[in-house]
A = this chain, B = another copy of it.
Amino acid sequence: MAPAQKVRPTDAGRLVVRCPDRPGIVAAISGLMAEVGANITDSQQHSSDPSGGTFTLRLEFVLAGLAARREELEGRLRGLAGEWQLTWRLVEASHRPTVAVFVSLTDHVLQELVYRVRAGDLRADIVAVVSNHPDLEPVAAAAGIPFHLVPVTAGTKAEAEARALEIIGDVDLVVLARYMQIVSPEFCARFPERLINIHHSFLPAFVGANPYRAAHDRGVKLIGATAHYVTAELDAGPIIEQEVARVDHRATVEDMRRVGRYVERQVLAQAVTWHVEDRVIVEGPRTIVFA
C-alpha cells in the first residue's frame, strides 16, 4: 500500500532499477533523485546476494512536472548506466496500462478484474476480452469491453493465436483468466514477463489439467491457486502469488471448484494489481514482489 499522497497524480512516478550489487548504488540513485528535486515517498530494495548478486531497487517518488522532466531524468540515468551497469524502468504513476483478458467458460476471474478496475483498486484498462467460447460475451458487454470470439481446435491453434495477436496488438499485459487452452511458446515469447496465468492449484502440486480432481483424489486438506508468468514450460513460470483455502473430508470435487473460485479470483487480481504497479520483478525462476 502506498502512503496517502496529497500530490498531483501526474507528479507521481515509479523507478525500478537493477544492477550488479556494489556498495554505493543506493547513494548514487538517491543522489540523482535529490538533484532533480524528486521526493522519494517509498523505497524497497533487494539484494539477491550481497556479494556479487543483483541489486534491485523500487522507488516511488514525487517530482513536480514529471512528464516534462522525464527526458531529463532518463538522461541522468543513462549517465549512470555505464558505471553501474544499470537497467531501469521509469513509469508515470498516472499511466494506465492496457490489458487483454483471455477466458473460456467461467467468469469469476474476469468479473473480479472488471470489478477492481471499476472500484479503482486496479489501475489499468481492460481493452479486450478474447475467448474460444461465446459464453462470456454478455459479461464483457455489460462491462463495455469488446469481446472477441476466437475458436481454437487442435488443427487451428496457430491461426487462432495469430488472430488473437492481431486483435490485442501491442497491449501492455495479457491475462489468462481461466483460459482453457495452452498457449504456444511463440505466443509466450511475444509477451515476456507480461503474460500472467492463474492455475487452480498450489503449484508445483497438480500441474496440468483438472487439478481439483487430483487434489480430491490425493486427499489434501488445503486447496490453492497460483498466479504466475507464463513461460514455454507448462505451469512452470515464475510464481507471483499463491493462496490456499481449507477443505475437509466432506468436500467433493465440485465443492473444491466452488471454494477454489474465490481463491483464484483473489490471487489473480492481486498478482495483476502488483504487476501493473511495477511491484513484480522476475529474477530467474522466481519473482521479487515489493508488496
Chain A residues engaging chain B, CB cutoff 8 angstroms: 1-7, 21-24, 26-28, 30-31, 33-34, 37-51, 62, 108, 111, 115, 119, 121, 142, 202-206, 217-222, 224, 238-244, 247-252, 254-255, 258-259, 261-262, 266, 283, 285-289, 291
Contact = CB atoms under 8 A, between A and B. Distances in A.
5 contacts: A4-B252, A27-B34, A202-B205, A221-B289, A222-B244
Given A249-B287, A250-B3, A252-B4, A41 B33 contact: no
B39 A255 contact: no
Given A4-B49, A49-B3, A218 B285 contact: yes
Contacts of A45: 40, 42-43
A60 to B, nearest CB: 9
Given A26-B40, A249-B283, 6 more contacts: A1-B259, A7-B51, A26-B26, A204-B220, A218-B285, A248-B289
A231 to B, nearest CB: 12
Contacts of A203: 205, 218, 220
A155 to B, nearest CB: 34
